Structure 1
Amino acid sequence: MLLFVDNLTNVDFSYLDPTRGIVGETWLANIRLHGDLNEQSMVCDFGRVKKVVRHWLDTELDHRLAVPARADNIEISESNDRIELTWTLTNGEFIHLSCPRQAIALVDATELSAESIARWCETQLEVAFAQKLDKLELDFSTEHIEGAFYHYSHGLKKHDGNCQRIAHGHRSRIDIWQDGIKAPALEQHWAELWRDIYIGTREDISSAVTVAGVDYLDFAYQAPQGEFTLRIPQSHCYIIDSDTTVECLAEHMAGETARLYPDSQLRIRAYEGINKGAEAYR
């Protein structure tokens, strides 16, 4: 017998890609359990399925940076509940991160994809369910977006939850209306500008350095979970003067777009993952 739950929950996180760098992502989780019926004539109670899967994903993947622990181009060291890693990109540039261990998901894989992360999750979830199942299957899907969208990563040092982690992210659509009319060209402009971007707050930049001819930005801040530092190629970054909450991002986009079209009425709807976000107006 097969029990399934589609779109059970969504996870907002970032992962390391050898070409794209730090990629913000939002996935929907779908679960399937194979097994015999129990004394209640169920494979497993839906309530328990939702509780176990949501709790595990919220704890172990959501708002973390997923890292392929067996990749050849990564160096990892752990000490006293902290982790440091260096990720070398295919073009020779690198990303260096130092943060609390809880901000990282060490995935037992050589490279990361929806499939490899799902297989890693399945192994952990089989233990979390603590009951006999013939098979557990998990897969991830993305929100269907007909228009423009972008992948971004960030960290919110003032947040008292997991948003404070310096490298987590989202896959987000963008809607813009200019003088009351949908403006797909403006939406695509922001989607291209923020493609696979790390959006940083200017005051979090601790230094700017050049290594082997490549310009890097160093970000550093102290948050409730601990100290976070990140060195990332400047070409992967977009800097704003405020925090990087979705409210501030919507306001920033509205302000910058108004500079291009000062005589237009603008409505910016920025998303943070799926079905949530903020609007700003000019």
Structure 2
Amino acid sequence: MQLFVNQLTNVDFSYLDAQRGLVGETWLASVILDGVLDEQGMVCDFGVVKKTLRYWLDDQLDHRLLVPTESERLTHQCIDGRIILTWQSDKGDIELNCPQEAVTLIATDSITAVSTSVWCREQLKASFPVNVDQLTLTFAPEHIDSAFYHYSHGLKKHNGNCQRIAHGHRSRIEIFRNGERSDELEQHWAQRWQDIYIGTAADLCSTDDSSEGSSDERYHFAYDAPQGHFELTLPRSQCYLIDTDTTVELIAEHLASTVAASLPGQSILVRAYEGINKGALAQQLA
């Protein structure tokens, strides 16, 4: 007998990729449980499934950086509750120094929906009743038929896990020009922010100018937050700086004001998403 829960929850995170570098992502999680019926005539109570999986995914994947430990591109060490790593991507080296709770180490050579689900199943084996023979956990991105982008960021003032310097989202974007939705503007920003790190200018500590003018020039971000000290260094080409914190509200406001400045005399409305089905609206009137 099989029990299923489609789109049980979603997880927002970032991961390290050999070609793309630091990538923000959002996946929907679905589950199938194989097993015999218990004395209640159930494979497993839906309440147990939802509570167990949602809590575990929220704790182990959501708002973390996923790191493939079997990749030759990774060098890392864990010392006194902190992780220090270097990742060699095709776009340039990425360095991270942060509390270990902000990172999930996955025994694979690359982070994919399949490799992550295999790792999760192994970790979850003991979490369900003995009559459950097999757990199948699958991840899939939201279907989006318009413009979207992948972004990573960190919110140092946040009391929750958003303070982690390298977590992210896969987000759609909607831009209205004088009340009409503009595919041209949406595609422009989706391409400009493809696999981007949106950083706060005040958190920029230094710039590595050893290769000034080249794609290897890097930005170094650092800040202190309730969970500890965070540092991140990555190629400048993967970064976009704004003058404020990077909440979705302020991202929407930045987009609206930037677009409006390039189109004087026109009204601009931006609907910016943070992952799935949530986000912020910002408007600049003509």
TM class, shorter-chain normalised? Answer: over 0.9
Look up the match of 2:182.
Answer: 183
Give 1:273 deviation, angstroms. Answer: 0.2
Give 1:128 deviation, angstroms. Answer: 2.4
Look up the match of 2:3.
Answer: 3
Look up the match of 1:242.
Answer: 244
Taking only aligned residues, the RMSD between alpha carbons, in angstroms, comes to 1.0
Runs of 5+ consecutive residues of structure 2 not aligned to the other structure: none
* 1:210 equivalent in alignment to 2:203: no
1:43-62 correspondence to structure 2 within 5 Å: 43-62=43-62
1:134-153 correspondence to structure 2 within 5 Å: 134-153=133-152
Deviations 1:129-151 (A, max 9, x none): 25342111000111111110000
1:125-274 correspondence to structure 2 within 5 Å: 125-129=124-128, 131-211=130-210, 214-274=216-276
Give 1:211 deviation, angstroms. Answer: 4.2
Look up the match of 2:39.
Answer: 39
Give 1:222 deviation, angstroms. Answer: 0.3
SS across alignment from 2:232? strand
SS across alignment from 1:134? strand
Measure the CA separation in 2 of the matches of 1:259 and 1:129: 55
Give 1:157 deviation, angstroms. Answer: 0.2
Tell me which amino acid in the other structure corresponds to 1:276: K
SS across alignment from 1:57? helix
Measure the CA separation in 1 of the matches of 2:132 and 2:210: 52
* 1:101 equivalent in alignment to 2:103: no
Deviations 1:153-182 (A, max 9, x none): 000000000000000000000011111111
Measure the CA separation in 2 of the matches of 1:10 and 1:154: 18
Contact 2:99–2:230, Cα closer than 8 Å, also in 1 = yes
The 3 A distance-change label for structure 1 pair 211 and 31 is farther
Measure the CA separation in 2 of the matches of 1:44 and 1:115: 24
Contact 2:222–2:229, Cα closer than 8 Å, also in 1 = yes
Runs of 5+ consecutive residues of structure 1 not aligned to the other structure: none
Identical-pair percentage: 54
Tell me which amino acid in the other structure corresponds to 2:190: A
Contact 2:204–2:221, Cα closer than 8 Å, also in 1 = yes
Give 1:73 deviation, angstroms. Answer: 0.9
Look up the match of 1:22.
Answer: 22
Tell me which amino acid in the other structure corresponds to 1:258: A
1:109-120 correspondence to structure 2 within 5 Å: 109-120=108-119
Measure the CA separation in 2 of the matches of 1:3 and 1:224: 40
Measure the CA separation in 1 of the matches of 2:181 and 2:248: 20
Measure the CA separation in 2 of the matches of 1:127 and 1:10: 22
Tell me which amino acid in the other structure corresponds to 1:60: Q
Measure the CA separation in 1 of the matches of 2:201 and 2:175: 26
Measure the CA separation in 1 of the matches of 2:219 and 2:129: 45
Residue range with higher mean Cα deviation, 155-164 or 132-141: 132-141
Q: TM-score, normalised by structure 2?
A: 0.96
The 3 A distance-change label for structure 1 pair 270 and 40 is same
Contact 2:44–2:132, Cα closer than 8 Å, also in 1 = no
Measure the CA separation in 1 of the matches of 2:249 and 2:130: 43
Measure the CA separation in 2 of the matches of 1:218 and 1:129: 43
Look up the match of 1:121.
Answer: 120
